[in-house]
Amino acid sequence: MTAERTDPEDPVAGTPYGAVRGRWERGVAVFRGIPYAAPPFGEHRFRPPVPPEPWDGVRDAGAFGPTAPKPPYSPAFARYLSDPVIPGDDCLNLNVWTPEPGPGGRLPVLVWLHGGALTRGSSAVPVYDGHAFARDGVVLVSVNYRLGVEGYGLFPDTPPNPGLRDQLAALRWVHDTIAAFGGDPDRITLCGQSAGAISTGALLAAPQTQGLIRRAVLQSGPPEASERDKVRRMVRRMANRLRIPATAQAFAEVDRGLLLRTQAEVGRLSSPVLGGPAFGIVVDGDLVPRDPLQALLDGEAAPGVDLLMGWTRDEYRLWLVPGGLVDHVERLGPVAFAGAMARCRAGHEVPRGYRTLHPEAGPAETVGQMVTDHLLRLPLHRLAEARPGSSYLYEFAWPSNRPGLGACHALELGFVFDTGEDPDSVRLAGEGAPQELADAMHGAWVRFATTGDPGWQPWDDTHPVRVLGDGEPHTVSGPRDAEFALWNSGAPAPHPERTAELALAVRRLRRSVAAVRRH
Instruction: Report the catalytic residues.
Output: 194, 315, 409
Task: Name the DSSP letter for residue 207.
Answer: G
Cross-strand partners of 465: 393, 476
Tell me if 172 sits within 8 A of 141, measured CB to CB. Answer: no
Beta strands in 3-68 (DSSP E): 12-15, 18-21, 23-25, 28-35, 58-60
Dihedral of CA atoms 271, 277, 281, 282 in degrees, nearest 10, equals 150
Tell me if 454 sits within 8 A of 447, measured CB to CB. Answer: yes
Length of the chain: 519
Tell me if 514 sits within 8 A of 269, measured CB to CB. Answer: yes
Cross-strand partners of 140: 97, 110
SS3 state of residue 317: helix
- Counting beta carbons within 10 angstroms of the beta carbon of residue 266, is it exposed (0 to 12), middle (13 to 18) or buried (19 or more)? buried
* Type of residue at 129: D
| CA–CA dist 133, 444 (Å, integer) | 11
Cβ burial 119-135 (10 Å sphere, 16+ → b, else e): bbbbbbbebbbbbbbbb
The angle that helices 334-344 and 349-357 make with each other, rounded to 10 degrees, is 120
| CA–CA dist 34, 62 (Å, integer) | 10
- Counting beta carbons within 10 angstroms of the beta carbon of residue 346, is it exposed (0 to 12), middle (13 to 18) or buried (19 or more)? buried
**HSE-CB for 497 with a 13 A CA cutoff:** 0
Q: Which residues contact 220 (CB under 8 A, 6 or more apart)?
A: 115, 193, 194, 197, 310, 311, 312, 315, 376, 409, 410, 412
Task: Name the DSSP letter for residue 271.
Answer: B
Give pairs for 174-179: CB < 8 Å, separation 24+.
174/94, 174/109, 174/111, 174/141, 175/212, 176/16, 177/15, 177/16, 178/96, 178/109, 178/139, 178/141, 179/103, 179/105
H or E segment at 97?
strand 93-98
| CA–CA dist 516, 319 (Å, integer) | 13
